Amino acid sequence: MNLLRVILLAVAIWLIFRIVKRYLNRPSKTSSRIPPEPGDMVRCEQCGLHIPKIEAVRDNDHYFCSKQHLEQSKGER
């Protein structure tokens, strides 16, 4: 009879552990509903690709998607 109680207690502890673990790993509902801010977009002078302004390579008032396109543009001038 004692072995049966130990087995039932172990199963109950395991079930409680699984329920708590699942509850803690659940993503919050508020974070998934808010889309990220897009920010300002700029156009690459070389290829025309639109990229976020914070990721662009800037040369005076001109924006480029990479340093390579900046160098290519300087070579054409």
> What CA–CA distance (Å, rounded) separates 12 from 4?
12
Q: State both tokens at 69.
A: 């396109």
**Confidence (pLDDT) at 25:** 86
pTM: 0.51
Q: Domain limits at 69?
A: 2-76
> What CA–CA distance (Å, rounded) separates 44 from 46?
5
- Burial (CB count <10 Å: 0-12, 13-18, 19+), residue 70: buried
Band (14; pLDDT cuts 50, 70, 90): very high
Domain count, the chain: 1
What DSSP assignment string belongs to 19-51?
Answer: HHHHHHTSPPHHHHHSPPP---EEE-TTT--EE
